[in-house]
Structure 1
Amino acid sequence: METTLAMAKAGRPRAAGWQRLTGSAQVRFGIVLLVAMTLLIVVGPYLAPHDPAAPVGKPYAPPSAIAWLGTDNLGRDVLSRLLAGGIYLAWMAPVAAVASVTIGATIALFATYYGGWVDLALMRVTDVLLAFPGLLLTLLCVSVFGPELYLLVILVVLTLAPGVARVIRGAAVPLLRQEYVLWARAVGTPGPVIILRELLPNVSSPLLVELGLRLSWAVGILSSMSFIGYGIQPPAADWGLMVSENGNGLGTQPFAVLAPIVMIVLYTIGGSMIAEGSARVIARTEGEA
């Protein structure tokens, strides 16, 4: 039996590990950018020269010694609000991304392994959620229950998890024909154990890609919700809210709009580069196999 076990395990595909992934310059740059942005978001409120909610000058005043990036529509310091404006994204977007990947992967792996009516029921639910516009669902729920932070995170998870489930299911289905899975089934290994020990490790690379991708999407969705008035509410400092509040003054004081846009883009690029770089490493690894 030990010989059979060794032969079965020898047939396991070697997924691109952390060493291969971090060997990609694109992935390393994405990680560095994401970590740098997160650190800036965390310490930013302590570096703000003024109270983000207090006026320091006239509305839409140009940059000066008092306000390095000028003032916004209410005369508040743009730099102070910029430094304090990412604190919500710093926890809401990662929590939503991790939760959506976790839930989506769990649904996909259980549906793949058990098949039959379990697969049918779980994947039909994801199809319904995929067919229903995520933005419409978010607007409906926020209109009824209010823009609560936990609700926004839950809605983002409901929007992103079905896509993750579809991707991971596609990656997991071919694994059912591998020798190590067939052997584990033959010796009576419980299904959850097979899912945890055999299937999950071999979809870890696609999961990492999905995590980076869903993080970028979570940032975009949460920023969009604040922009249209259904996310973070005034007078809180938030990058999406800053863009919405100061849109009318773009021609007069562009820093009030462009600065938060740059911060959102940089935060999004970090996750996107990790996802794209990981996908290239996985494709190259599969090509070498």
Structure 2
Amino acid sequence: MNTALLRRCLREPRVRVGVVLTGLVLLITFVGPFFSPHAHNDIVGAPYTTPNGTALLGTDYLGEDVLSRVLAGGRSIVWIAFVGTLLGVAVGAAIGMTAAYSGGVVDELLMRTMDVLRAFPPLVLILLLLAMAKASEGLMPLIVAVAWVPQVARVAYGAAREVVSREYVESAETLGAPRLRIVRKEILPNVMTPLMVEFGLRLTWSIGIVTAMSFLGVGLQPPAADWGLMIKENYQGLALQPWGVVLPVLCIAVFTFGTNLITEGFSWTVARVSSQEGES
């Protein structure tokens, strides 16, 4: 994505609102723990205590401070979703571009394999992988990445197919440039825009999936501080002390909405620019 297009995207109101919302959640996630009144696993009162001087937003099902757990609980979702999405997009893009540029048997082998994996819904594929391997915070980004690889590979393949036959690619081949260099220098820059949009879309889905894994009990386990896990742990006491559920739900919703607005704004701007260039 060139600088002019990036500036135009950042002028889009939806992108600006999305950046503010996402930035707010990231600020809470990375700066909030330094202002936490208690350690996230400290027992500060009876279970489901309403807000008071010791626990400003009350306590959870064990008597832990809700505010402290919310301030500490965003890091896992943010880093797992981001790293998992980044790995999935990187590997999927590499597979898609390699298949599009190589053609023939390599194309068929790679893309038919991706089509088989695409037959599994991402959440089902993730649950299947988690059933085969013990869930851990270090493993979860890899599992999320595997779920996105076939989806991204198909997008990258479609975008790269339009590029491989262009003159500058043929010129690089004529000059004897290595195949890897051609993919990296000639094809990748010209498919970067759809890949950036795809990254934003997959990141939005990753946030929901990582949350769902914790809520279903196959993600992070107690005593870890995690927004999805907080919802699972405290929903039975919602009528007694709602903040243990409402606040993590609100954080997840704002984060998801913010990343979705950024993706929509980028997609709309890129489509508009492409349409204007086509008319001219």
TM-score (norm 2): 0.92
By how many angstroms is 1:110 displaced?
0.7
Moved more, 77-86 or 14-23: 14-23
By how many angstroms is 1:15 displaced?
9.4
Q: Kindly report which structure 2 residues correspond to 1:242-281, keeping only aligned pairs within 5 A, or say none.
A: 242-281=230-269
The answer on 1:120 being equivalent to 2:108 is yes
Maintained 8 Å contact 1:16/1:205: no
By how many angstroms is 1:144 displaced?
3.9
By how many angstroms is 1:16 displaced?
6.7
Cα distance, 1:67–1:265 mapped onto 2, change above 3 Å: same
Maintained 8 Å contact 1:205/1:278: no
By how many angstroms is 1:14 displaced?
7.6
| Matches of 2:5 and 2:106, distance apart in 1 | 31
Partner of 1:153: 141
Q: Kindly report which structure 2 residues correspond to 1:170-249, keeping only aligned pairs within 5 A, or say none.
A: 170-249=158-237
| Matches of 1:253 and 1:62, distance apart in 2 | 6
Maintained 8 Å contact 2:78/2:207: no
In the alignment of these two chains, the number of paired residues is 277
| Matches of 2:130 and 2:173, distance apart in 1 | 46
| Structure 2, unaligned runs of 5 or more | none
The secondary structure found in structure 1 opposite 2:254 is helix
The answer on 1:142 being equivalent to 2:142 is no
Cα distance, 1:58–1:282 mapped onto 2, change above 3 Å: same
| Matches of 1:116 and 1:35, distance apart in 2 | 45
**How much identity, in percent, do the aligned residues show?**
45
Partner of 2:92: 104
28, 38, 48: which one pairs with 2:26? 38
Maintained 8 Å contact 2:92/2:149: yes
The answer on 1:164 being equivalent to 2:129 is no
The answer on 1:28 being equivalent to 2:16 is yes
The secondary structure found in structure 2 opposite 1:252 is coil
By how many angstroms is 1:112 displaced?
0.6
Cα distance, 1:158–1:123 mapped onto 2, change above 3 Å: same
By how many angstroms is 1:244 displaced?
0.3
By how many angstroms is 1:148 displaced?
1.3
| Matches of 1:56 and 1:202, distance apart in 2 | 55
The answer on 1:17 being equivalent to 2:33 is no
Aligned partner letter, 2:12: S
Deviations 1:34-62 (A, max 9, x none): 23322221122221112221222221122
Partner of 1:286: 274
Deviations 1:191-216 (A, max 9, x none): 22221122111111111111111111
By how many angstroms is 1:134 displaced?
3.2
Cα distance, 1:14–1:98 mapped onto 2, change above 3 Å: closer
Moved more, 76-85 or 41-50: 41-50
By how many angstroms is 1:223 displaced?
0.8
